[in-house]
Amino acid sequence: MTDPNAASRPVQAVVLAGGQGSRLRPYTDDRPKPMVEIPGTGTPIIGHQLTWLAEEGVTDVVVSCGHLADVLQKWLDSADLPVRVTTVVETEPLGRGGGLKYAASHLPH
């Protein structure tokens, strides 16, 4: 049986990952919030997010990075991901709206 809503599902997504993660300190002292591992899984939050997006049919994701972006980019470059990922780095905090607009301009379609 096919899903009648499959054709209307988005295949592209933006993940806003540029925040400081101040409420998660001390876990975010040396890593950005998306790189905090969910206990017992061995996988950081961003890994779960990308898997969930892929399970919903998303194929392309732009991850907007900021705080400690190099740590996140290194993991994304080395991980076996279920989606194509493009990273963009906010050189200054843009807030949610600005970050979304900046990241969306890098979507492939």
Rg (CA), the chain: 14
Angle at 107 between CA 30 and CA 61, to 5 degrees: 45
pLDDT band at 71 (very low <50, low <70, confident <90, very high): very high
| Neighbour tally for 33: CB within 10 Å | 22
- Sign of the dihedral through C-alpha 73, 76, 77, 83: negative
Class of domain 11-104: alpha beta
Q: Where are the domains of the chain?
A: 11-104
Is the pTM above the cut of 0.85?
A: no
Please calculate the CA angle 75-103-79 and round it to the nearest 5 degrees. 15
Tens-place pLDDT, residues 44-68: 999 999 999 999 999 999 999 888 8
